[in-house]
Amino acid sequence: MIVLIHQLQHSPLNRTASTTSRPQNRYLKETSCAATDIILTAMTSLSQLQTVTLGPKGPKVPALGLGTWSWGDSLFFQYGGAYGASDIRAAFKASLAAGVNFLDTAEVYGLGKSEELIAQFMQESASQNRELGSSESGSSESVILATKYMPVPWRFSAQGVADALTASLKRLNVPSVALYQVHWPFDFL
């Protein structure tokens, strides 16, 4: 979202300053971009997100989630160059503030860095909320996590899946996740 906002701010199509009032969002910088006003307005109306139940007895999750492939990934993305942890932290906070609390990650995103950053931001958010005595709806306690593992040939066994999940839970610093998925289930063919 932050990258999209940045691109829209610097687009030649958005040279006109907006005259509409912006919703208050403490995590996003004020701009004079009309397109940013639209995005911020849309983000502030996400608090009433539709939810879906995954499978007949699966977890109930918001219909809109945040993918975190680029979080910590310098192989496919420019983490550490074009953006860093502070940019991702701002995206994390803005997402929670907008009501987008379903985060999708994977053990391979940034070779585990994505999961580690999410754990760090959740811990920081929880600490800030404790210090403020706050339990605001955009807190890290409301985060719903999904992660994935890659079924590479040496990890087809039940023990391989359990070990991969244990490693992800350790990186995420949580006892469980709402959804654990096979990443690219036909990758081995």
The answer to whether 54 touches 102, Cβ cutoff 8 Å, is no
Q: Phi and psi at residue 109, in whole multiples of 5°?
A: -70, 110
Long-range contacts for 183-189 (Cβ within 8 Å, ≥24 apart)? 183/106, 183/107, 183/108, 183/148, 183/149, 183/150, 183/151, 184/150, 184/151, 185/151, 187/150, 187/151, 187/152, 188/151, 188/152, 188/153, 188/156
Q: What is the pLDDT of residues 68-90, one digit of tens each?
A: 999 999 999 999 999 999 999 99
Confidence band (pLDDT; 50, 70, 90) for 35?
Answer: very low
Q: Is 144 helix (H, G, I), strand (E, B) or coil?
A: strand
Q: Check 79, 83, 109, 149 and give the catalytic one.
A: 109
pLDDT of residue 187: 53
Q: What is the pLDDT of residues 136-168, one digit of tens each?
A: 555 556 899 999 998 877 777 889 899 999 999
**Is 109 among the residues known to form the active site?**
yes
